[in-house]
C-alpha cells in the first residue's frame, strides 16, 4: 500500500488494533518529520484553525501534557476539561451526557482518558468528533504504544525481529496490551512476558496476537540477556481490589543499576512511567535508560497523530 494515499482523517483511535501496519508507519514517519521541523521553532502552523479537547477523568502527567504540547506545536487551540472535581460530574452528570456536551461545542478531536474499560468506545459511539483513547482503565493505551514503537525504532533501528521483554503488572497494565498489539503489526518479533503468575498477561491479549512468538517467564535474570528491549511497568495499586494482595506483590521486581551491571549483554530499558519502586533512579544515568526520551517522543508521535486524525 502506498503510504501517501492513506488517511486516518476523522477516525476514532480506540485500540492499537485500529491501526494497520502501514498506518503505524505513516504516523511514525510523520513523527520523525515533526521532530526535524520543530527544531528551533515553537509552532509549525499545521492546524491553526483546529480545536483539540483534552478530557482526563483519571490522573495523567505525560499523556495529558504531551497532547497539549502537541496541539500547541501544531498551532491548534487546546481546551482542557479540567479537574473532574470542578466539573458537573461531581453533581452526578452521567458519562454519556458529559460526552454529548463536550462534543456539542464542536471540537475537531477529543482526547479522552477515563477508568472504565470500554468507555472510550462508548464515547466514540456518542460523539461526532473523533475520539482518541488516552487510556481506558486496564484495557488499552494506543498512543502510548505508538510512542513505544517509535522509541524502539529510533533506538534499535528496526521494528521487525525485535526481542522485547515486558515486565511487571501485566494483568492490569493497559500499555501491555496495546504494545503487544502494536508489535504484532510487524514481523518476527518475540515478546517474553515477565511477571509472577498472579500478574501475568491476560489470555485475551495473547489470543489476539497473530504473528508474534510469545512466552512467559517468572525470573527476569533468566531472560534479560536475550532481550533487545526490557519494558518495565509499575504494579498498578489503583487497580487492585485487595490492597493486601498489592502489598504482597509490590516489589516483586526491582531493576537497579546493580542488578543490570551483573549482565554482560544488556537491553535498552523502557518504561511508560510513572515509576514507583520497580525502577531505581540510579539506572537513569546508564546508557541503556531510554524512558525519559520515550516520554519526550510522545510529543512528536501525538503531533503526527493529531495532524492525521484532524486532517
Ligand atoms: N505513560 C502514561 O500514560 O503516563 P501518564 O499516566 O502520566 O499519562
**Which of 50, 62, 234, 290 is the catalytic position?**
62
Active site residue 11: no
In the reported structure, the alpha carbon of residue 310 is separated from the centroid of ligand 1 by a whole-number distance in angstroms of: 23
Residue 251: per-residue pLDDT: 77
CB 36 within 8 A of CB 154: no
223 lines ligand 1 (CB under 6 A): no
Query: One digit per residue, pLDDT tens: the chain, 311 residues?
Result: 555 567 999 999 999 999 999 999 999 999 999 999 999 899 999 999 999 999 999 999 999 999 999 999 999 999 999 999 999 999 999 999 999 999 999 999 999 999 999 999 999 999 999 999 999 999 999 999 999 999 999 999 999 999 999 999 999 999 999 999 999 999 999 999 999 999 999 999 999 999 999 999 999 999 999 999 999 999 888 888 888 888 888 878 899 999 999 999 999 999 999 999 899 999 999 999 999 999 999 999 999 999 999 99
In the reported structure, the alpha carbon of residue 39 is separated from the centroid of ligand 1 by a whole-number distance in angstroms of: 25
Q: In what order do the strands lie in the sheet with 190-194?
A: 213-217, 190-194, 163-167, 229-232, 268-270
Take atom 6 of ligand 1 and give the residue whose Cα is closest.
60
Nearest-atom index, ligand 1, CA of 134: 3
* Cα–Cα distance measured from residue 263 to residue 269, given in angstroms and rounded to the nearest whole number: 13
* Cα–Cα distance measured from residue 114 to residue 93, given in angstroms and rounded to the nearest whole number: 15
Active site residue 63: yes
Residue 5: per-residue pLDDT: 61
283 lines ligand 1 (CB under 6 A): no
Nearest to 272 by CA among 156, 154, 140: 140
Residue 4: per-residue pLDDT: 55
Amino acid at each position: 500500500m502506498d503510504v501517501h494515499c492513506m488517511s486516518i482523517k476523522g477516525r476514532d483511535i480506540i485500540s492499537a488494533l485500529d491501526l494497520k501496519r502501514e498506518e503505524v508507519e505513516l504516523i511514525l514517519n510523520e513523527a520523525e518529520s515533526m521532530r526535524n521541523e520543530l527544531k528551533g521553532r515553537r509552532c509549525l502552523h499545521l492546524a491553526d484553525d483546529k480545536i483539540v479537547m483534552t478530557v482526563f477523568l483519571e490522573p495523567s502527567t505525560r499523556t495529558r501534557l504531551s497532547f497539549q504540547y502537541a496541539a500547541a506545536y501544531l498551532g491548534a487551540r487546546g481546551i482542557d476539561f479540567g479537574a473532574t472535581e470542578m466539573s458537573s460530574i461531581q453533581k452526578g452528570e452521567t458519562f454519556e451526557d458529559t460526552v454529548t456536551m463536550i462534543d456539542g461545542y464542536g471540537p475537531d478531536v477529543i482526547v479522552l482518558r477515563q477508568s472504565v474499560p470500554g468507555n472510550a468506545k462508548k464515547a466514540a459511539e456518542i460523539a461526532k468528533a473523533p475520539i482518541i483513547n488516552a487510556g481506558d482503565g486496564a484495557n488499552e493505551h494506543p498512543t502510548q504504544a505508538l510512542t513505544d514503537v517509535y522509541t524502539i525504532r529510533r533506538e534499535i533501528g528496526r521494528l521487525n525481529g525485535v526481542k522485547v521483554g515486558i515486565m511487571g503488572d501485566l494483568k492490569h497494565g493497559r500499555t501491555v496490551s496495546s504494545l503487544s498489539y502494536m508489535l504484532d503489526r510487524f514481523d518476527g518479533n518475540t515478546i517474553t512476558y515477565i511477571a509472577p503468575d498472579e500478574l501475568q498477561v491476560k489470555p485475551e491479549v495473547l489470543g489476539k496476537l497473530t504473528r508474534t512468538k510469545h512466552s512467559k517467564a517468572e525470573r527476569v535474570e533468566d531472560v534479560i540477556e536475550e532481550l533487545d528491549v526490557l519494558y518495565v511497568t509499575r504494579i498498578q495499586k489503583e487497580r487492585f481490589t485487595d490492597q493486601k494482595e498489592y502489598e504482597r506483590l509490590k516489589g516483586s521486581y526491582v531493576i537497579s543499576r546493580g542488578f543490570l551491571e551483573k549482565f554482560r549483554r544488556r537491553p535498552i530499558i523502557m518504561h511508560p512511567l510513572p515509576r514507583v519502586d520497580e525502577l531505581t533512579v540510579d539506572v537513569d544515568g546508564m546508557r541503556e535508560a531510554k524512558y525519559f526520551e520515550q516520554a519526550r517522543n510522545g510529543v512528536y508521535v501525538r503531533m503526527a497523530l493529531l495532524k492525521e486524525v484532524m486532517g
